[in-house]
């Protein structure tokens, strides 16, 4: 962790300590911390109790649905695509946020250009090797900070954090980013995923506190 970031984090904790008579909660930090969130300097792990072991030789990413060119990428094929890096903040619906996550991998837009979705495709349905699923409007996936990430802080993403590859959509709560990603389907109609079927918000905007519906 950089010294600068450490100092900023310490300062925020200090502000929280001195806010007397106030229940410990998020200190609004120059518009960076969404409402109701608390800054964490660790990196908690959230999953369904399964962290699938997917060796690179068994890994593939399937892109299908309403696309001109359905594609299944091997690990080597995936890694031969143009690589990008992006640093973003991570907001979990359980109220922790982590700043400055350094992700590397393939931009969602690169995959979009590769498979060429039909004009009817309006939603994206992600699936994971652990049986997880989540749904996102296509337009939310086309920002340049949306990645299929394979590295975190310069090293391969660990199994607990969703390796070999996970989806990162910084502008939405983190459950919208499938860890252990296995499939990306382009759909005309929305289809609720694992948590969306269990009462989580469909839209998941942390700035509007869209936690549960
Ligand atoms: N495949 C899969 N992806 C998932 C989950 C999961 O259980 N399975 N949990 C989601 C939730 S609720 C969050 S907050 C983040 C947590 O990522 P982390 O464990 O790296 O912190 O992954 C999301 N993606
Ligand atoms: Mo979460």
CA 121 / ligand 2 centre spacing (Å): 27
Q: From atom 6 of ligand 1, which residue's Cα is the shortest distance away?
A: 47
pLDDT of residue 31: 85
Q: Beta 147-152 vs 71-74: how paired, if at all?
A: unpaired
The pick from 43, 95, 162, 196 for probing ligand 1's pocket by mutation, whose C-beta has the most ligand atoms within 8 angstroms, reads 162
CB count within 10 Å of CB 171 equals 16
Our answer on whether the CB atom of 9 is closer than 6 Å to any ligand 1 atom is no
What is residue 69's three-state secondary structure? Answer: coil
Our answer on whether the CB atom of 92 is closer than 6 Å to any ligand 1 atom is yes
HSE at residue 127, side-chain half, CA atoms within 13 A, is 14
Q: Convert the pLDDT of each residue in 90-132 to its tens digit.
A: 999 999 999 999 999 999 999 999 999 999 999 999 999 999 9
Position 211 pLDDT exceeds 50: yes
CA 90 / ligand 2 centre spacing (Å): 10
Bridge partners for 136 per DSSP: 124
38-61 per-residue burial string, b: 16 or more CB within 10 A, e: under 16: bbeeeeeeebeeebbebeeeebeb
Our answer on whether the CB atom of 174 is closer than 6 Å to any ligand 1 atom is yes
CA 92 / ligand 1 centre spacing (Å): 9
Position 84 pLDDT exceeds 50: yes
Q: Convert the pLDDT of each residue in 37-82 to its tens digit.
A: 999 999 999 999 999 999 999 999 999 999 999 999 999 999 999 9
Q: Convert the pLDDT of each residue in 125-171 to its tens digit.
A: 999 999 999 999 999 999 999 999 999 999 999 999 999 999 999 99
Which uninterrupted H or E stretch holds 7? Answer: helix 3-18
pLDDT of residue 8: 53
Domains of the chain listed by start with CATH number: 2-20+52-202 (3.90.420.10)
């Amino acid at each position: 962790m950089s010294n600068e970031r450490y100092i900023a984090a310490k300062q925020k904790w200090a502000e929280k300590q001195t806010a007397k008579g106030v229940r410990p909660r998020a200190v609004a930090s120059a518009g960076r911390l969404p409402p109701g969130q608390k800054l964490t300097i660790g990196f908690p792990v959230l999953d369904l109790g399964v962290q699938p072991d997917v060796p690179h030789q068994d890994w593939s990413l399937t892109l299908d649905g309403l696309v001109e060119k359905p594609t299944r990428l091997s690990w080597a094929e995936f890694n031969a695509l143009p690589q990008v890096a992006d640093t973003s903040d991570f907001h979990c619906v359980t109220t922790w946020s982590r700043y400055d996550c350094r992700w590397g991998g393939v931009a969602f837009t690169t995959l979009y250009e590769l498979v060429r979705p039909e004009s009817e495709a309006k939603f994206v349905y992600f699936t994971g090797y652990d049986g997880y699923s989540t749904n996102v409007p296509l337009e939310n996936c086309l920002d340049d900070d949306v990645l299929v990430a394979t590295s975190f802080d310069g090293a391969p993403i660990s199994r607990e954090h969703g390796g070999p590859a996970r989806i990162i959509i910084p502008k939405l709560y983190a459950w919208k980013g499938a860890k252990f990603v296995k499939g990306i389907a382009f759909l005309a109609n929305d289809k609720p995923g694992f948590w969306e079927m269990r009462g989580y918000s469909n839209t998941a905007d942390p700035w509007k506190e869209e936690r549960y519906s």
